[in-house]
Amino acid sequence: MKFLCLFALTAAVGISVVALAPAQAQETRIFVDGLGHEVEIPVKPKRIVSLRGEQFTAPLVEMGAPIVASVGDVVEGVNDGRPVIRGAYELFHTTFENSDIAFVGTTHQPDVEAIAALKPDLILVPDFAAENYSRYSVVAPTVVIKIWSNPARERYRRIADATGMLDAFERLANLYDFRLGEARHLIEEEGIDAQDIVVAVAEVNGKRLRVFKHYDAMTAVLSDLGFSRPEVVDGLNGERLDLSPEQLQSIDGDFLVSSYSERRFSGPSELRANWDNLIPGWDAFLHAPRHNQHILIPREIMRALSFRALEEVLAIYMSNIVTRKFVPFED
């Protein structure tokens, strides 16, 4: 009997040690997150939970990071009404159904219990949800990323750094840089001075005329290619400005870029209708739409933080601006 008890005790201790072994064996380091928290995180996390679709999950999927769960959102008319991981769904067609990524609530209401049940070793939290930092940090090492900080590439790099995916990041960055170099070379070959081309990024959304200095891949690639912005946008301190519709002509330039969604309320036809409602005859008063130089870019793809999005937007700009004849804007 004594022998049996001793055997059982030894076995129990052994099992516990084996069970705890991976966690204890994980090499850790200190990472300073976007809000200045010094967090002890695994050097190579194996079970990452993302609390933002297009800003975290999409780049993690692109880098091939070991992501176990993500938030998702129900978007009318998409994925048969089941939650989708924004950005990852549109760019890579990654869904909760066709991947090992578990659904842990919506962007604005993550389910902490569901996250805890997955035993993550790293949680990525956007700064707008940092008020719940203490709840997440009880579950696992938690890193806050400022999702509207610029430049976007640095933001992406921080995510790669926190998740131990810097190698994959560099590989993807090198590929994009190569394509960007090719594009710049072509611009030079064509004798185009990119700085002479003025491109405005603007949308009418919710009865507002909104112009953008920074709007994810849509503006990042324009900057990468060296195109200019209208003065009113250039002088902006923030990312965007709700401009009076009466000031429409202050955003005039060679090209106008807007984003659309294939979903209800924001498809290309709704986009044009919104412009018409706010500024009747707008397309006759701006050079770009008057000469068919208004470029529409798919919003969900463009908003996903990824090199794939940058490459797709780069291809759109190359075919719509660089490689075709257009009517230059004369101020």
Partner 1 sequence: MRLFSSATRLLPAALALLFVVAIFHIGFGAKAIALGDIWQAIWAFDDRNFDHVVIRQMRLPRLLAAMTVGASLSVAGALMQGVTRNPLADPGLLGLLSGASFGVVVGAAVLGIDSDSLIPVFAVLGALAAALLVAAISFFAPGANSRAMLLLAGAAVSLFLAANVSALNLLNEEGFASFRVWLSGAITTDAAKMLPWCLPWCVIGLAVALFSARQVTALSMGHKTATGLGVDTKKLSLRLLFCVVSLTAASVALVGPLGFVGLVVPHATRLVVGSDYRHVIPFSALFGAIFLLIVDLVARTVLSPVEISTGVVTSLLGAPLFLVLIRRVL
Please report, as ranges, the residues that interact with partner 1 according to CB under 8 A: 73-76, 106, 108-109, 205-208, 232, 241-250, 261, 263-266, 274, 277-281, 284-285
Indicate the residue among 116 and 279 with the shorter CB distance to partner 1. 279
Indicate the residue among 164 and 253 with the shorter CB distance to partner 1. 253
> Residue 284 and residue 209: Cα distance in Å, rounded?
16
| Smallest separation (angstroms) from partner 1 to the CB of 283 | 12
- Tokens representing 73 are 């959102």
Indicate the residue among 51 and 122 with the shorter CB distance to partner 1. 51
| Smallest separation (angstroms) from partner 1 to the CB of 207 | 4
203 and 265 in contact (C-beta within 8 Å)?
Answer: no
| Smallest separation (angstroms) from partner 1 to the CB of 19 | 39
Indicate the residue among 47 and 208 with the shorter CB distance to partner 1. 208
| Smallest separation (angstroms) from partner 1 to the CB of 272 | 14
- Tokens representing 190 are 């064509």
Indicate the residue among 107 and 320 with the shorter CB distance to partner 1. 107
Number of residues written out for the chain: 331
3-class DSSP state of 147: coil
| Smallest separation (angstroms) from partner 1 to the CB of 312 | 21
Which among 294, 297, 279 is positioned nearest to 329, based on CA atoms? 294
| Smallest separation (angstroms) from partner 1 to the CB of 134 | 23
Indicate the residue among 73 and 161 with the shorter CB distance to partner 1. 73
Indicate the residue among 205 and 223 with the shorter CB distance to partner 1. 205
Indicate the residue among 76 and 131 with the shorter CB distance to partner 1. 76
| Smallest separation (angstroms) from partner 1 to the CB of 172 | 28
CA dihedral 83, 85, 87, 91 (to 10 degrees): -90
Phi, psi of 53 (to 5 degrees): -65, -70
Residue 209 pairs in a beta bridge with: 204, 243
Q: What angle do CA 209, 87, 203 make, to 5 degrees?
A: 10
| Smallest separation (angstroms) from partner 1 to the CB of 230 | 12
Cis amide bond preceding 151, omega within 30: yes
Q: Rg of the Cα trace of the chain?
A: 24
Task: Strands of the chain (E only): list them.
Answer: 28-32, 38-42, 48-50, 67-70, 102-103, 105-106, 109-110, 122-126, 142-145, 199-205, 208-212, 240-243, 255-260, 294-298
Please name the amino acid found at residue 149: S
Q: What angle do CA 259, 193, 188 make, to 5 degrees?
A: 100
